[in-house]
Amino acid sequence: MTSPFKTGIPPRVALVLGGGGLKGFAHIGVLRALEERGIRPVLMAGTSIGALIAAAYVRGLTIPQMEERALSLRKPDLFRIDHMGMVVRRMLAPSLYLEQPLQDIVDRLAPEGTFRDLAIPLLVNTVDLERGTQVTWGLPGLQDVRVADAVYASCALPGFFPPRVIDGRTCVDGGVMENTPALVASRDVDAVIAVDVGSTSLTAARRVREKGFAAIFMRSAQVMMRSLQQMQLAAWHGPPLLLVRPPVWRYNWFSFAHTRTMIDAGYATACDVLDSVGESLYSAGGVYPRRDVEVLVDRDRCTGCGMCVTLAPALMRIDEGKATPLAGPLEWSRADGAFVTECPVQAISVMAIDADGQRHRTMEFRVESDS
């Protein structure tokens, strides 16, 4: 059936789904938007829950099937504390939670067999803990392993789930090094669509030190993943990249209470981005969509520490002891402006400028509280 939608997406596109805990349910909404527009990726790639959902898509699960399984998932289906291991092995226990519940979920969703058996190429991002290197299963020379093993390892957040030994490598969640593995998926394609659900605007965490070691570890991991993601996107040198960032940053990584909201957020954001991309992805490169923005500084709040100038010397300067933008309206992609949230007193804000010249505060650079 011919799609009623007209898009500017080139024929050979890779789809990359990032990690982000249960916020990754937004990927299901993105897949629905792509299917409605007749967009069929020639390659899938993912990290953590992104790898799991990409694997389910490659296996042939329909969007309604994915939605049904996501909506029915409950905490005991995934998180069961390894009481025995912690009592017997104590500090030598490999993880807080048991391996089997996660393995059962992976077995129900991932394709059987090895990467060589797949009809659609799939790349699953992991990290080899012992060698300290990124390992992307599905690449040439890394295809003769079970897909389910690689997907499990990609979901095995260190400390939360045990690592998986694959072909002699002790592998864990690929988000440790690259949460949205776009560059590795960019070879031999016309464009990349990358869905980032775990490295977007970071909400302010309240009383994190009172919530235990798991919360402290997860907060640290979030900060690390966002910083790595920003650096990787700032240095993007692959084909045109369409960055989809559903507004799910305010939700907890392991909240089971907002599944429907996150699926719908992924769908709405993908529809907006896909329907407005125009012919941008037929360019030579760059990150899209792009928009006009204005950077503002609250001079009363600014302390003149100079962090913004250090991070963005081409955009900011110190004038009379206060931070000052060097230029007027700028054209930014969603990968730009990382320095804004690094201001220690939150004196910098960003206004998006629409087609009519109207200015409105963009949500991406606001520091909000976790729900």
Exposure string for 163-175, b = 16+ CB within 10 A, e = fewer: bbebeebbbbbbb
From 82, 173, 196, 336, the catalytic residue: 173
**Known active-site residue 319:** no
367, amino acid identity: V
Q: How far is CA 221 from CA 42, 153, 161, 268, in A?
A: 31, 17, 15, 27
From 48, 95, 186, 333, the catalytic residue: 48
What three-state secondary structure class fits 356?
coil
**Known active-site residue 173:** yes
- Per the CB < 8 A criterion, the answer to whether 171 and 226 are in contact is no
- Which residues are bridge partners to 134 per DSSP? 127
Question: Could you please report the per-residue DSSP string of 195-217?
Answer: E-SSSSPPPBPSSGGGS-HHHHH
Rounded Cα distance between 184 and 315, Å, is 30
Selection from 160, 151, 202 nearest residue 338 by Cα:
202
Burial class (CB in 10 A: 0-12, 13-18, 19+), 47: buried
What is the DSSP secondary structure assignment for residue 335, as one 8-state letter?
T
Count of Cβ atoms closer than 10 Å to residue 162 Cβ? 23
Selection from 319, 310, 368, 296 nearest residue 339 by Cα:
310
- Per the CB < 8 A criterion, the answer to whether 281 and 242 are in contact is yes
Catalytic residues: 48, 173
